[in-house]
Chain A
């Protein structure tokens, strides 16, 4: 039992890593397509895309446990005897390495997720205690201009008096519409999940993916506000808030505006009509393709795992202990 479990853990980890590296290689090609879609769909697809290596590798590895599927997914074959079998090594180094690494990886991801959740909850409690409830947002009595959404399941919008002083009532309505969209979409939770799924990537690659997800979420909320107030008004508000924040950021060393994001968001709003939502059949095709890929992967994965186990068992110095 432990031999099978350890082997499957090892297969899952290797497959997860390989799929992640393949996706990272293809990502520059896929990225431009994602940014041509409507950001509401682009952000969902991006999150699904980066969760795919983890989820699909887990699914495909689980399917290996069902040895033949009546010959549908895996052609019957023999290794000495012809009984249905699961790729398994009896080499304890491989078994325990696979098992230990899988446990460590799962714990690390869960720990990161739980720790971030806790940090967010603690911060929300702090700002709640120092803010007063208003219609649709919480007011922070501070001269520093700030507006943000905080919280995971029931996010809240926080606006400082410093920002309110620099905005008209229409701009405030646009800011609230944008932040309420974050609240409805639970973007903070999406971003956290995206970050957790990308933890296996090196830091620079991970930051770039999380930044893309963040930008698509922001654009998506801009588009929601634009559907109510018009894209040019939202773009104008972005620039105005940019000016207010820039003036206040001057005393903070090294802090100014995320110009590239602000520019991308304004340009996206000016070309709002060019970003199309996916049709239902396109979404269905994507899911069907992913499902089919998992089913078709069972046979090569089974034989590939057996070949890899054979190579490792014959080349590892400790394999025969």
Chain B
């Protein structure tokens, strides 16, 4: 069951996403190489330590976002979910939560999702807009900037 603070099922922390981003850019890295990649991206004081990276990788492995292969004494990691796939699932969650009304007060969507408008209703609305446009043209109104 989702906790109330983890509204998205694909709930990932900021560091977990940064580690995944590093693996999407260069797969099959070990913890030390990921640490170096993050150091190169951010100022040293904001880069987490190697132990933190290792525990983050362990969490991602348990959540099945990364796979690992043992090479010598160390593991190398690669993402088991693509960037587009993860984003698609997160957007799917947002759409479902908007539909349930659980996201209504967290984000504003240009057009929301629900259940009572079919193509015929959209056609009717479009016909209404066309009618209004032609009425304006007939009345000699120069463009709908003047509505």
Q: Which A residues fall within an 8 A CB radius of B?
A: 115-116, 118-120, 122-123, 125-127, 129-130, 140-144, 146-150, 155, 160, 175, 178-179, 182, 187-188, 191-192, 194-195, 207, 210-211, 214, 217-218, 221, 226, 229-233, 235-236, 238-239, 241-243, 245-246, 249, 252, 254-263, 266, 270, 272-273
A13 to B118 alpha-carbon distance, docked (Å): 46
Instruction: Say yes or no: B110 contacts A257, CB within 8 Å.
Output: no
Instruction: Say yes or no: B111 contacts A255, CB within 8 Å.
Output: no
Instruction: Say yes or no: A130 contacts B83, CB within 8 Å.
Output: yes
Partner of B128, one of A119, A207, A266: A266
Q: Which of B40-84 contact A (CB under 8 A)?
A: 83-84
A230 to B136 alpha-carbon distance, docked (Å): 12
Instruction: Say yes or no: A245 contacts B111, CB within 8 Å.
Output: yes
> Knowing A129-B18, A147-B110, A256-B114 touch, does A232 contact B128 (C-beta < 8 A)?
no
Instruction: Say yes or no: B114 contacts A141, CB within 8 Å.
Output: no
Instruction: Say yes or no: B145 contacts A148, CB within 8 Å.
Output: no
Instruction: Say yes or no: B110 contacts A175, CB within 8 Å.
Output: yes
CB distance from B141 to the nearest CB of A (A): 10
A236 to B125 alpha-carbon distance, docked (Å): 9
Q: Which of B89-125 contact A (CB under 8 A)?
A: 90-92, 94-96, 99, 101, 104-119, 121-122, 125
Partner of A257, one of B84, B117, B133: B117
Residues on the A chain within 8 Å of B117, using CB: 242, 246, 256-260, 262-263
Residues on the B chain within 8 Å of A188, using CB: 105-108
Across the two chains, which residue of chain A brings its CB closest to B102?
A119
Smallest CB-CB A-B distances: 7 pairs:
A259-B117, A230-B144, A258-B114, A232-B144, A129-B17, A259-B116, A258-B112
A118 to B3 alpha-carbon distance, docked (Å): 13
A141 to B136 alpha-carbon distance, docked (Å): 40
Instruction: Say yes or no: B108 contacts A142, CB within 8 Å.
Output: no
Instruction: Say yes or no: B95 contacts A255, CB within 8 Å.
Output: yes
> Knowing A160-B91, A195-B105, A236-B126 touch, does A119 contact B7 (C-beta < 8 A)?
yes
A158 to B130 alpha-carbon distance, docked (Å): 30
Partner of A246, one of B84, B90, B119: B119
Residues on the A chain within 8 Å of B108, using CB: 148-149, 155, 179, 182, 187-188, 191, 214, 217-218, 221
CB distance from A209 to the nearest CB of B (A): 12
A149 to B104 alpha-carbon distance, docked (Å): 11
19 additional contacts (CB under 8 A) given A144-B88, A195-B105: A119-B4, A144-B95, A175-B110, A179-B110, A188-B107, A191-B105, A210-B101, A210-B104, A210-B105, A231-B144, A232-B129, A239-B126, A256-B114, A256-B115, A258-B112, A258-B116, A259-B118, A259-B121, A261-B114
A141 to B104 alpha-carbon distance, docked (Å): 23
Residues on the B chain within 8 Å of A149, using CB: 107-109
Q: Is B25 engaged at the interface, CB distance under 8 Å to the other chain?
A: no
A155 to B21 alpha-carbon distance, docked (Å): 23
24 sampled A-B residue pairs with Cβ under 8 A: A119-B7, A126-B14, A129-B14, A141-B87, A146-B109, A147-B109, A150-B107, A188-B106, A210-B105, A214-B104, A230-B144, A230-B147, A232-B132, A236-B126, A241-B110, A245-B111, A246-B122, A252-B92, A252-B95, A257-B115, A258-B112, A263-B125, A266-B128, A272-B147
Across the two chains, which residue of chain B brings its CB closest to A140?
B87
Q: Is B140 engaged at the interface, CB distance under 8 Å to the other chain?
A: no
CB distance from A47 to the nearest CB of B (A): 12
Instruction: Say yes or no: A245 contacts B113, CB within 8 Å.
Output: yes
Instruction: Say yes or no: A116 contacts B106, CB within 8 Å.
Output: yes
Partner of B147, one of A118, A141, A211, A231: A231
A272 to B14 alpha-carbon distance, docked (Å): 43
A254 to B116 alpha-carbon distance, docked (Å): 11
Partner of A192, one of B88, B105, B109, B129: B105
A262 to B119 alpha-carbon distance, docked (Å): 13
A210 to B104 alpha-carbon distance, docked (Å): 8
Instruction: Say yes or no: A123 contacts B106, CB within 8 Å.
Output: yes
Residues on the B chain within 8 Å of A255, using CB: 95-96, 99, 113, 115
CB distance from B22 to the nearest CB of A (A): 12
A239 to B115 alpha-carbon distance, docked (Å): 15
Across the two chains, which residue of chain B brings its CB closest to A131?
B87
